[in-house]
Amino acid sequence: MQNLTEFAGNATSNRSLSVIIKVCVVIPFFCVFLCCIVVMLHIFASNRQFLDSSRYILFAYMLINDTVQLLFSVLLFLSVMGNVKFAFVYCIPLLLLSTTTFKNTPLILATMSLERYVAIFYPLQRPTAWRSDRIWIIILSLWLISCIFSVIQLSIGGMDLALDILSTPVYCTSTIITKSSPIQAMFHTAVNIFLFTVVSIAILFTYVRILLDTRKMRQDEVSGSKAMHTVLLHGFQLVLCMLAFTHPITESLLGLHSRLLLGDISFFNYFCFILTPRFLSPLIYGFRDQSIRACLGKTFLCCSNKVKPGVRGKQR
């Protein structure tokens, strides 16, 4: 009996330590991401040149979308780590927003690729919807498409009759939906494949077409190099974005070939394939852009100049 008590105590202690480590990894990571996004959005709001460009408006929209997705993702992660349960009716809005913003990211990447295509091939006869003052029409369309996918995923399939959505407490995770109905899991997989295919075709078509036409027009090597780097960047962003769709495969492989607990495997997938790609994708694109990079340099230079006089005053 004493051995059982000691074993239970050790198991509880190990789990508590594991939870603390996971939370201490995720929270600082998210805070750094949030600080970077706030600085970028401040730059967009304070520079008119960005607000007059459809390209930068779409990029700012991607920043906001990924921030909302990560915010709800971290909130759901903390609720699971803290063993917090609440009624399914309150879980639905959280899952709906998290799923919608998650599916929205690849659509934004495809839209940004198409925007570059329109800007290069139709500079003087740009369609109305692609102008900076009308780009909100396309943004709302992306939200509508993502919401439709998410609502269908939450609606199809039979609900567990023993589950009272108004009072039964549950852990708010996506698995309570996909595991409750094979149809929902199948639809989820089909939507992921569809998004990956559509975005891949859009990126390959637009940027390969741009590369071929710039070579025909015998543009300078600098323009060709920038176009090639853009192709590689968007391809890399797509790979980062789609890594999250591979978590069932990685969970199966790690479960078969390692002795890690299921919770540790899920956290590994969450951190590596959901948090990290969403963190890196917008920052890579933002810091690569010369205009944004220049504004970031000025912002940090102004902050350092404001700090230095105070430091000197204390020294005197």
Domain ranges, residue 118: 2-294
Asked if 139 and 131 count as a contact pair (C-beta separation under 8 A), the reply is no
In whole angstroms, what is the distance from residue 216 CA to residue 255 CA?
Answer: 52
Write down the residue that tokens 């199966």 correspond to.
Answer: 252
Residue 221 parent element (H or E): helix 221-242
Asked if 159 and 89 count as a contact pair (C-beta separation under 8 A), the reply is no
Residue 210 lies in a domain: yes
Phi-psi region of 127 (alpha: psi -120 to 50; beta: other; left: phi over 0): beta
Residue 82 lies in a domain: yes
Q: pLDDT of 272-307, one tens digit each?
A: 877 888 787 777 777 777 888 888 777 767 765 665
In whole angstroms, what is the distance from residue 55 CA to residue 113 CA?
Answer: 9
Asked if 208 and 215 count as a contact pair (C-beta separation under 8 A), the reply is no
Which residues are paired to 170 by β-bridges?
A: 86
Residue 303 lies in a domain: no
Residue 184: Cβ-neighbour burial (10 angstroms; 0-12, 13-18, 19+): buried
Residue 316 lies in a domain: no
Residue 311 lies in a domain: no
In whole angstroms, what is the distance from residue 292 CA to residue 128 CA?
Answer: 26
Q: Average model confidence (pLDDT) for the chain?
A: 76
Residue 264 lies in a domain: yes
pLDDT band at 216 (very low <50, low <70, confident <90, very high): low
Q: Which residue has the higher pLDDT, 151 or 282?
A: 151
Q: Number of structural domains, the chain?
A: 1
What pTM, to 2 d.p., does this model score?
Answer: 0.82
In whole angstroms, what is the distance from residue 253 CA to residue 110 CA?
Answer: 31
Percent of the chain with pLDDT over 90: 6
Residue 306 lies in a domain: no
The CATH number covering residue 157 comes to: 1.20.1070.10
Residue 258 lies in a domain: yes
Residue 170 phi/psi, 5-degree rounding, is -140, 160
pLDDT of residue 145: 92
Lowest mean pLDDT among 50-54, 86-90, 246-250: 246-250
pLDDT of residue 229: 66
In whole angstroms, what is the distance from residue 316 CA to residue 310 CA?
Answer: 10
pLDDT of residue 215: 67
pLDDT band at 79 (very low <50, low <70, confident <90, very high): confident
